[in-house]
Structure 1
Amino acid sequence: MTEKKARPIGVAVLGMGNVGTEVVRIITDNANDLEARVGAPVELRGVAVRDLSKPRGIDPSLLTDKPEELITRDDVDIVVELIGGIDPPRMLIREALQGGKSVVTANKALLADYTGELATAAAGAKVDLYFEAAVAGAIPVIRPLMQSLAGDTVTRVAGIVNGTTNFILSAMDADGSDYAETLAEAGRLGYAEADPTADVEGYDAAAKAAILASIAFHSRVTALNVYREGISKITTHDLESAKALDCTVKLLSICERIVDEDGTQRISARVYPALVPLAHPLASVNGAFNAVVVEAENAGRLMFYGQGAGGAPTASAVLGDMVMAARNKVHGGRGPLESTYASLPIAPMGDVRTRYYVSMRVADRPGVLSTVAGEFSSRNISISTVRQEGAGDDARLVVVTHRAPDSALSETVAALEKLESVLSVSSVLRLEGTND
């Protein structure tokens, strides 16, 4: 007796930019492999685009400029959203989920603020919402956190999740060029957008940090909960000083479980440029690559590394999600649901304890070091190292501290700026990746 062939799984793709073009190509070129992996044919039902007159290299009958009609079709089982931005994707995804369609998205900006709303819609309709591609391109991070480590307790997730800023900092470190010229070079090479603000000021990384913190700590975290600093104030002097300390500078996204002395647990989610020791695995991640280090109580330290952006790498993650959603449609069942049972509060940045690097221009005369050290000491900030650079009008003090609350450091910097002997505080960076 011939086995009955499974009903095809219909897929609608919203958006045909770099990632959408690659997704459509893979669905078309790898139809036989996808069918074998899913257990049923995967058929492209349509692609929503803004401009129907633009050549797309696919059957024109598949194209539409009405995504709201495409997502409601009875022959569409899975919607792949690759438009980006908040609206209209928010409305389209919610409507698709409520209509019984599973959704795959790479939209980190949307998920950073509206995961709860969309997850509720998916749960109500008993369908899947997958978003592996939203955080680090081809790097599998979301699924390990939600599934592989589901029985463990994650304590920290830290990484480089923005390729543009990593390219800029890596180039500045390698050839000594300043921020402005390196940013211009990143634009020429296609690593930076015409308006690079979302990348260089840390908004992109903060959105990804919110997603990672939500999943890792089973709590609702939005982009507004993430402390954020960008890289636009990083100087060649900072990178030179970092080298003298056997460090480099990276824009880090850090999500951390904080346990107070009384056992109370809170979450810290933050993005900022930080000194990273050269011995730390993140220090060697250069160019436009991304890497995420996950620390868990039983699994220990795990590192995920690879292409964090680009059409083909991101499409790989999207297709992985699509195959999972399609298998669930064929065989029944659903992927893991959003888990917010812990509902841990967000710790204010002032309570976070890290190490600090403070560089300041000072008057070159006796007694300056003791005056500066006194400001740190009066706020119970222990100094690890002090180094003087230059002399005369170019005299600088570089101070590296042990761990201290961010609020104490902020107060210290404010006090230093009022000292007659301190001409300016030129840089304040955190130091991550040490046990001190």
Structure 2
Amino acid sequence: MLQPRITLRHIYSQGQAFLPALRRPYIQAADSLRPSTHSSPAAPVPTFAPQEQLQSTTAQTGLRRYKPRTPGQRHLIRPINDHLWRGRPLYKLTVAKKGQSRGGRNHTGKVVVRHRGGGAKRRIRLVDFHRWGEGAQVVERIEHDPGRTAHIALVRNLESGERSYILAADGTRAGDVVQSYRKGLPKDLTNSIGGHIDRGLVASKTAYRGNCLQLGMIPVGTPIFNISLDKNSAGTVCRSAGTYGTIVSKGQDEVQKEMVKFLEDQGRGRQGQALDISAFTHDQLAKYEKAAGYVTIRLSSGELRLFDKEAVATIGVASNALHQYAQLGKAGRSRWLGIRPTVRGVAMNACDHPHGGGRGKGKGNNHPSSPWGKPAKSGYKTRPRNKINKMVVQERPRNQGKRRKRA
């Protein structure tokens, strides 16, 4: 005789004591992750500011894994971001993303970027990369932006009440107060330090996480992100999740050292606190004046680059530093992101790709190339030789076809 089936409704009617035993947990564990040495966002912290103002929170967070109740959850790994806002964005600070550009097409309908199309419906967030607004701004919430890897913060100006989106620094939470000093130092701040602008004293009161400062006012060794190229443009460098730059040296300090050394070699000393400028030629002074207007910054790629000292940057590291360790878990999540599949060239016909056609799975006696016949490997140079970026002091390390040694 078959046993009668006990329904869940009957168990629930007897009491809720049985429900915890019937629940199946989705999350398996939260793994803590130690940042690696080559991609760690923990840059040298200046001694003028407290540790909690610039220290990254990557070591305090971790990755979340799921119990494989479905095949798509077996390899799913996500960063723990429980502090993110779960509601909708501020509607007036968004723009609808429509048109054929979502499919990688230009205004004529031709595909100019492959492997794009479909995906979830989304709105573009209008992020303020300039940071021209003055006054203190309070962070209302931290949000996820589907258009970028880093998180964004909704800030409200305490004086005008105007809201705007900015790139969130790693460790920024709701309730923090940030400020932009792009237009200069306010009068109350200069009066509080005695009217004399001392770089060390100014940095101790302004160089905090999330604040926007000119590069000439930021101390050496400070991690920065959202760096602009000149004094009027928006921040364009180091905006992805976990990226940052480090100020290596300032041209003003280096020029002063060279001028003092030159005077000592000539047998002339200082006239009090000032330098004897009469010992230098007009060309030397022009060269020193030009060099003093730049700041040397080491980017996350290892490249050393010169920036204008009047350009601005945000103190800290770009948020969501554990984004590089996330795994989607299944192909469907790539389609949700608007990423279409990538077909190998050897799987195509000969009319579609130089690697296609033939019997077997080989590409024949053809060199690796793109679908249009352009060499793809073997150190093929694509940048013109006569266009050299003079602002690059040292290029980023390249593998040149060899595996890079781990530190």
TM-score computed with the length of structure 1 as normaliser: 0.22
Bigger fraction of residues in helix: 1
Please say which structure displays the higher CA radius of gyration: 2
Bigger fraction of residues in strand: 1
TM-score computed with the length of structure 2 as normaliser: 0.24
